[in-house]
Structure 1
Amino acid sequence: MKAFRGKNGWFACYIGATIIVLAATLVVWLLYERENRVFLLEQQRSSVQSQLDEVTREIETAIATQTAALESLATFVSLEPDLSKEKFEAVSRRTFLKAREFKHVALAPDFVVSMAYPSERTRSIIGLDHNKIPEQLAAVEKAVSSGAVVMAGPVDLVQGGRALIVRKAVQTSDFGAFAPRLWGIVSLALDFEAILERAGVDDLDFKIAMRGKDGLGMSGGMIFGEPLVFTQSPILQKINLPQGSWYTAAVPVTGWTIPQAAFLKARIGFALGGISLLILVLGAIRLVHLRMRSDAQLKTAMNSIADGFAYYDSSDRLALCNDNYRKLYAASAKAMVPGAKFESIVRYGLERQQYAEAIGREEAFLKERLAAHKAGGVDVEQQLADGRWLKILETKTPDGGTVGFRVDITELKNARDAAEAANTAKSEFLDVMSHELRTPLTVVLGGTPFLCKPEMLPTATKLFNSLEARGESAADLKAEVDALLHALKTLASKVDRSAKHLLTLINDVLDYSKIEAGRMQMNVKPLSLAATVEDLVNEYSSKAEKKGLYLEGEAPDIYVEADQIRLRQVFTNILDNALKFTEQGGVTISVDDRGAQVKVNVSDTGVGIPEDRLPEVFDKFSQVDSSASRKVGGTGLGMAITKQIIKLHGGEISVSSQLGEGTEFTFTLPRALADVEEVPMEDSAAASA
């Protein structure tokens, strides 16, 4: 390319490209026009042939139809040779009247015309003796000798006009001689011009000529058109007659020529194509020049990237890489030359123990790395022997190449490891604190029932008995004790509610911590869904009735594979929310058997959830209506825990809602292969406590 870098060199390149493109365009245009001319001529001949075929069919059809009618009349005459004039006219009228090419029909017993139809046009031929007209006698004798229909003409009729004369000899039975007897001849005159008109000859957009008078084919005389047509390379078509044939010839009015206008669009197209091609070629030359300049810019840009960058072509050979790519893989840098195979570069690094995870398993590492690289979509972390961590991102290009980035994430990796260690420490802390948090709450919850009903305490009973024994003198003291006990009950009730709420919060936090750490244990076994739903309805009915709501639940006798305690936790979380946020109507539990899966629906008629907040329902610490949530309490972990429990069962959970109309939660559980009686729900709940 150095030869074209100078001003004169580029100018010569442009001139040479222009000459080559214009010459190539001219040659292609000439070849195309020659072939297109042949094609258009063939197309023109095909069009003329198609129209001529239609004309031929119409002429043959018209003649064949009338020939058949004449044969029918000849048969009738042979059976009734002495028919009257009236009957002859009636038969002729029925047979020929509808044909527009029909002129007249005549009966000639012993070759002398005795009757003709229509009579008003045929008076001049009555008494015509074919025996006295040599040219007609020859045609009559031909019809007699052949026994078939014979056509002559077109001829000039005695009464005027040109017509085709179709004749058929008539044989009658002579019972005395026991042999057929020649009765005479039946003649039919067909209007030649009417036949041509029916065939549409006058409407053709090309010249037509016909020859073959008296059915003599190409050796016959001209019967229509100019003889010159037969000398102009015409389209020839044979017309089959009852005996013999005609030939038609057709040529365009202007002859077999293609108008120059037919090539105008093609010429304009080639001109525009040549100009476009020239622009493309000159543009390509310009691109080569720009490519030489952009290569240097690309190299500068790649080296400006802080991360390692490399591109391997469709043959998996290194095409481009920046300096940082070589720096990150310093041990393999010498192997990173354009054209080097990716496998060769990785092997070079393996030989120098560049990859920490590959030490001791080099071949297995190579196989895994090549498979991932070939598949594309790589997003992995890789540790080098010097302790650094790299984020490897690779993706396939449309042409089959591979683009890769190498990001040094050593600091991020260290920070993440520290965060994971802190999270582990948090989980361990919560596990340790679980007993410490629940033990005092258990003591509190164990004592609050007595505080809520202090009269059940033995000391309170003794006190009340002492006051009763004193009678009226202790009435004031008894009233003060009653007031004290009422205040204690009110305070104890608040302590009981708060302690239960605190226990729920602690359980939610601990459960979610177990889920995050992957340490939640599931005791999965066959469980009766019908019994579970019945127990839940019985348990929550009183809570629903206090708010004036209904609670309905129905399930077929289906067994599912589930952890009884965790499934109860799922229902509890959903039902608690449903009853919290429902003021009118109620809650319905339904079960749908889907074969391998069982679908459970819990729907309410509550306030509903805004559509834009539905995706957040199962997020941790999510509360759709913060004001309402604050009124009823909650950690925002319940539905997040519910989703994880369903996932641990191998099912899925979803929610749908209409604001102001209600909410429906739907989850699936795996169907149990066998039905086994489960531990009663209340016993299980007691065991979990």
Structure 2
Amino acid sequence: MFVMDIKKRDAATRLKLYARLLKRKRNILTRALALMAMAGLLSALAYRNETLTYESHVQDLKLNTTIEMVEVRERIKNNLISRVFALNELATIIGQNPTLNATEFNIKALDFVLGNPDVKFIEAAPDMVASMVFPKSGNEDVLGTSYRDRPEHLPKVLAALRTGETVMSGPIELSSEDRTLILRTPVFTPAPAGKRNPWGVLSVVLDYDKFFNKLGIAEYEQGFDILIHEDYAGHGQDGDVLLGDGAVLEADPIFLDLNLPFGTWELAATTDGGWPPHLPNYIIRTISYSLVILACVIAFGLVLRLYDKRRESDRLLSVGIEALEHGFVMFDADRRLVAFNKRYKEIAGGSGMVRIGARYEDIVKANLRLGLIPDAVGREEEWYEKWSQRLEIEVTDNEQILADGTFIRAYDRAMDCGAVVGLRIDVSDLKIAQREAEAANRAKTEFMGVLSHELRTPLTIILGHARLAQNIVKMPVYSKLIAEIEKHPEISAEIMPILDEVVTKFATMTRSIENSGNQLYTLISEILDFAKIESGTLAMEFDQTTVPSLVETVVEQMRPMVEHKGLKLEVSAVNCDINVDAKRIQQVLINLIGNATKFTEQGTISVIAKSSPGGVTFEVKDSGIGIPEDQLESVFEAFHQVDSTSSRKHNGTGLGLAISRDIAIAHNGELTAQSVLGQGSTFTMTLPRNAAPQLEDNSDETWKDKEEHQTLAA
């Protein structure tokens, strides 16, 4: 029978273990799926953000390209229009004098050539036969040619005569290194009734390369792919290509219309090589996104793990509450019972009163009616009113006496959320020990209250501004932005004030973060230093240095803070050597000057280092509020505050002076204070010239052992 019971218990145990293992595997699978879903979502968001950023980048490039191409368009347009006007003027002169000879033609053509150095020659073709050319030298083969025999030029010539407008052809390659542009304008002679008779065609042949070099187009071609072509019907390569390669049209270029007197042309352009397929730093951005996603997934995994631990902790808490020997109770924000254990039920009112949903007020008044609270007998209503008022602002604590004479300490505390947590502890044998513990607990509570008050505000500021604090003006993208804006003076005057305002805002945030971070760093450093002092692990590194170097380093560091408050800083330092831990002594001086600045609203702060018999004396004087005489020694006690309330004006943990005195003692010196309330204070640190501990070689004495001889805490 006994063996069977053992087997049953073993089977039940194995079943529980199997169920627990199955539950654990199910939790792991659920967590893995959640992490995969989160990684997918973050990846999609990152891809979408990268796509939008890339599109915005391309749009910016297109805008910049458009701005640059407007300049190119205007240069070409203005140059060609001026050429057409000059050519029409020459054509008008010829039309009014259709019988002019070659000499007269050369005189007229000379002025045109002198004003346009990129002109190769000018040709006059009455009745579409070239009969005059200037300059003639080198162009003799042009004379006598008929456009009727040149089909490659005839359509343009006929178009000019038909429309009466100037036309352009080109570029025409005369050889591998010789390209030309040809402007042709029709020449008409007057006729009766206001009609015009066609005389012929006047043609100007331009050197293609000189024409574009004169316009400065080459400098744009270094950064852009440019196409200028004749456009008969929208965006299409239907006519002559003046500049560039038609492949530009396949790269989604920007388009600008180029309206010229001889037709509609179009300018298309992209950046050199087309628009970039990626952002300039897309590899780094991809790596950054991957790292961020990985960090988020890891963090989410930790949150899930913490959540599981939280659920397990809640279960263990429930078990632990029930296992307590003391009574435990919790009320929600509406002061209704939400949790308790059996011990509390025994102590507070019996089973009929203690139940989930019961009101806190009803339970306490039931205890009053039963006479369980000695201090409230005979004045129950008055006692309850005071108890309720105290509970709103602090912990309530009283003793109860049960029917069997057991002393119970009733401890209730209102939480920030309005809930109330209570303990009912049997203190019959622990009342004396409890009084001692209360004193220690009060000291600890005051310390934690002060520490919490001092750390909360700077920490909140740091967390709120950490992601915004960036030194924008030193970033390459900022310099690039400024350079791009300065290239366009027509918009810089409007944009720069807005940009300066943004930079100023970020600078203000950065200063706020820096100030709060420095404050938080100082507080934490003081706590760590004090912990090292308490544990005997505060290290000292003694070295030979000079008094001026000690003082000047600290003064230069603290001067901005002092002068920012409108105070005057006076410094006087004797020139002599001293063997100390320079960083620790500077820490003391920084603390003393910082305190002097903190508690001084106007006047002067003096830092004086002078020789004393066998040593050096450092004095820090201020004209501040002073210290009451009965607290001059107390200010060197750990955690002591002259004003220790949470609403005090001056912040601090109360550790700075305690640490400073311990550092001075560690140097075989001392730190003292003198003060007159309302007039100022003087803190004096006296150190020997050689403060390093002198240990004999055959001694087993350690630095910590020497603290008894030096009265050190570290």
TM-score w.r.t. the length of structure 1 is 0.42
**TM-score of the two chains, using structure 2 as the length reference:** 0.41
